[in-house]
Amino acid sequence: MIVDVLMPKMGESITEGTIVEWKKNAGDMIAKDETLLEISTDKVDSEIPCPTEGKVLELLFNKNDTVEVNTIIARIGTEDSDSLDSKTENNISEDKENSNEEILEDVKKEEVSIQEEVISDNKEISKIDRVFYSPLVKSIAKKEGISLDELSSIKGSGNGGRVNKSDILNYIDSKSNATQSTDVQPTAISTDYASSDQLKDSIEEMDRVRVKIAEHMVNSKNVSAHVYTTSEVDVTNIVNIRNSKKDAFLNKNNIKLTYTPIIVSACIKAIQEYPLMNASIDGTNIVHHQNINMGIAVALPDNNLIVPVIKASEEKNFLGLSRNIDSYAKKARSNSLAADDIFGSTFTVTNPGIFGGLFGMPIINQPNVGILSVGSIEKRPVVKETEYGDAVFVRHMLYLTLGYDHRLIDGAYGTKFLSRVKELLENYNEAEIII
Check pLDDT > 90 for residue 46. Answer: no
Domains of the chain (ranges, CATH numbers):
2-78 (2.40.50.100), 120-184 (4.10.320.10), 210-432 (3.30.559.10)
Strand partners, 29: 55
For the segment 173-191, the average pLDDT, to the nearest whole number, is 55
Q: How far apart are CA 54 and CA 84, in angstroms?
A: 9
CB count, 10 Å around CB of 214?
11
Residue-wise pLDDT tens digits, 92-148? 445 545 544 554 455 445 444 434 443 333 343 333 344 566 667 777 887 788 887
Q: How far apart are CA 325 and CA 328, in angstroms?
A: 5
Q: How far apart are CA 389 and CA 12, in angstroms?
A: 58
What are the angstrom distances between the C-alpha of 380 and each of 259, 263, 366, 377, 401?
19, 20, 35, 10, 18
Residue 179 pLDDT:
56
Residue 118 pLDDT:
36
Give SS3 for 369. Answer: coil
Q: Which residues are catalytic?
A: 406, 410
Residue-wise pLDDT tens digits, 228-241? 999 999 999 999 99
- Using an 8 Å Cβ cutoff, are 39 and 45 in contact? yes
Residue-wise pLDDT tens digits, 300-349? 888 888 999 999 999 999 999 999 999 999 999 988 888 889 889 999 99
For the segment 17-23, the average pLDDT, to the nearest whole number, is 88
Q: How far apart are CA 279 and CA 329, in angstroms?
A: 25
Residue 319 pLDDT:
94
Residue-wise pLDDT tens digits, 346-379? 999 999 999 999 989 999 999 999 999 999 999 9
Residue 282 pLDDT:
92
Residue 102 pLDDT:
52
Q: What percent of the chain has pLDDT over 70?
A: 79
Helix H or strand E encompassing 398: strand 389-405
Strand partners, 426: none
Check pLDDT > 50 for residue 24. Answer: yes
Q: How far apart are CA 134 and CA 107, in angstroms?
A: 10
Omega before 367 within 30 of 0, i.e. cis:
yes
